[in-house]
Amino acid sequence: MNREMEALVWDGKPFPQGMSWGKFPMPEVRPGWVLVENQATGICGSDLHYLSGAMRHQIPDNNLPAVLGHENAGVVIEVGEGVESFKPGERVVGEPLHACYAQGLALCPACQAGQYHQCIHLGHVGIPARLRLPGGFGSYSIYHQSALFHLPDNVSLKDAAILDVLACGVHALHLGQPAPGQVVVVIGLGAIGLDMIQCLRGIGLTDIVGITPYLFQAELALELGVKDVVRFEKGTNPVPEIMRLTGGADQVYEAVGGTADTIQQAIDVCRGGGKIIQLGFFSGIRPLNLCTLFLKELTLQAADGYSTWGTRREFDIALQMLATGQVRHEPIITHSLGRHNWKAGFQAAFHKSESNSVKVVLTAH
């Protein structure tokens, strides 16, 4: 019997015309998979890129209509055959990445190396670029049991929902390997940048400078432990002020992306032999001064998503950081609205300079 659920359905057109509240097929529970009732879902920057049209080309037409939302936490409703680790009623958070193992495929070279975020078959819950797994802007999502994590009692569903953001910071930290006493600059103080700051603080770094044009982001960064913040007017160059404060950074974590010139700014403020870690997703080709990159012998390291570090899942490491209080998500979740109030939620996320939003979370009620 085909079952339906309530969902915020996207037909591929830009926001808001392309979105409507309606019915969508409920995912079927297969062996090894778990049906989760979504309770909290974060609006990610990539959701905004899809809905603005900037990344629409990544979604095949035959995967539409679809339900977005890959930052999810909820309650187990039903488990498939062979699932023993999860039971109905348990609170869980879902890792959206589903690679070879979850899909029942022979492991590709990336999956064999534990780097499943680079899987050639990679699909996501809530991103219909490959698999059509409905996301958290609907009532229910389905996860392979290997992609689910039990929530400790002291972690709220809303805080857990945006663990995807924190796991990206954990991955960047592992790639960057900053050393105690180093001077670190974080460019961009949205949710990614603010969690990056907390990751750096969590391993003992204190000489951290944040960069943003927004006063509300600067105030949050200071609350979360940066030493200084450089605020600048859009269209102006923050590099001179960064250099005045730091004398040059050992590492720069770039968390803006889009069409910004932030990688070049990172090159300009890095000391010789320094490292730049790119967390931001750029929507096009950006000009870079490769001569300066060369002469300074800088390392430019991309940090895309997360997977494993050693024998541990980075998503699990992020959950532990949240559970032990090393990281706080309550200050970052600036807006929380019921799912039926989706239009106001997306408006706040799209217009952060007016709404002072960092992370918007839609809840089931």
What would the pLDDT profile of 48-97 be if each residue is shown by its tens digit?
Answer: 999 999 889 899 999 999 999 999 999 999 999 999 999 999 999 999 99
Give the per-residue pLDDT at 283. Answer: 81
Q: What confidence category does residue 284 fall into, taking pLDDT thresholds of 50, 70 and 90?
A: confident
pLDDT digits (tens, 9 = 90+) for 102-119: 999 999 999 999 999 999
What is the overall mean pLDDT for the chain?
Answer: 96
DSSP 8-state assignment for residue 28: P
Given a cut of 80, whether residue 2 has pLDDT beyond it is no
Q: How confident is the model at residue 23 (pLDDT cuts 50, 70, 90)?
A: very high
pLDDT tens column, 136-181? 999 999 999 999 999 999 999 999 999 999 999 999 999 999 999 9
Query: For the residues 226-252, what does the mean pLDDT come to?
Result: 95
The whole-number pLDDT of residue 234 equals 85
What domains lie within the chain, and their CATH numbers? 4-162+329-363 (3.90.180.10), 165-302 (3.40.50.720)
Q: Which pLDDT belongs to residue 82?
A: 97
The reported pLDDT for the residue numbered 1 is 44
pLDDT at residue 339 is higher than 50: yes
Which phi and psi (to 5°) does residue 283 adopt?
Answer: -85, -5
Question: Regarding beta strands 97-98 and 123-124, do their DSSP bridges make them parallel or antiparallel, or are they unpaired?
Answer: antiparallel
What are 308-325's pLDDT values in tens digits?
A: 999 999 999 999 999 999
Burial of 75 (0-12, 13-18, 19+ CB in 10 A): middle
**Quick one: pLDDT at residue 261?**
94
Q: Number of C-alpha atoms within 13 angstroms, CB side, residue 71?
A: 26
Across 287-297, average pLDDT: 97
30-51 confidence digits (pLDDT tens): 999 999 999 999 999 999 999 9
Distance in angstroms (rounded) separating the CA atoms of residues 283 and 265: 17
pLDDT (0 to 100) of residue 54: 85
